[in-house]
Homo-oligomer: A and B are copies of this chain.
Amino acid sequence: MTEDTTPKPRANRRARLREQTTGEIKDIALRLMSEGGPDAISLRAIAREMGMTAGAIYSYFRTRDDLVTTLIGDVYSELVDAAQAARDTVPASDPGGRLMAWAQAMREWAINEPAGFRLIYGDPVPGYQAPPDGPGKAAELRACTSLTDLVAAAWPTAAPLQKDGRAYTWDEFDSNLVAHVREEFPDLPPEALALTMRVWGRMHGLVALEIYGHLRPLIHDPATIHHDEMRALVTSLGLTA
């Protein structure tokens, strides 16, 4: 969306202003989302906040869903960046610690930005349909490849513990992900990719329940449980935290 490769080599001021306004729209949208949840993202509210008319936003985003799609991409990138940064504070010689760091960062980000989590992993907004590709999917693929890397590092110790799992073939998975993993880790079997998905689900479950308010009434400090679960996850991969 809004892919203008400036037919004229100059015309810079206009483009700069446009970019700035686009950024302001996104910033305000994110602020409204932080304050009132994803549903607070309304073109009219954004325009009101900017001293504009709702219709003016249509110069920057073709529709509200386009704006939401862009926001999802930004927010998801932010999440992946945070998780990767946390992971990289632990040396590669400690794969269990790196996985733990990733998981902890993921949960903490979600707790601090619950609306962002809902935006990415829930129904962001009534009637929104995520496009099959786009910035959101790109960030998700980035997250998934990073997670695959973590699982790959754990595979030597994890493989012997996955005996009850079924056999998998490469063509059961997304081709982009497969291309990445086969290039990066030529010796990795497809079962490792299946394990990656399972790890993802295991990291997601408790956080999703907590963000949507299903855990807090039942246990006072969900962080403890999450930490225990992630330790068990690391252990189940034959690693130590």
Contact = CB atoms under 8 A, between A and B. Distances in A.
A221 B193 CA distance: 13
Contacts of A217: 132, 137, 174
A213 interface: yes
* Main secondary structure on A side of the interface with B: helix
Copies of this chain held together in the complex:
2
A202 B200 contact: no
Contact of A197 (B168, B173, B174, B225): B225
A85 interface: no
A197 B218 contact: yes
Contacts of A206: 197-198, 201, 204-205
Contact of A219 (B38, B162, B174, B222): B174
Contact of A201 (B144, B205, B235): B205
A172 B220 CA distance: 5
Given A122-B122, A162-B232, A168-B224, 11 more contacts: A37-B127, A122-B212, A130-B213, A137-B217, A194-B224, A194-B225, A197-B206, A197-B215, A201-B209, A202-B205, A204-B205
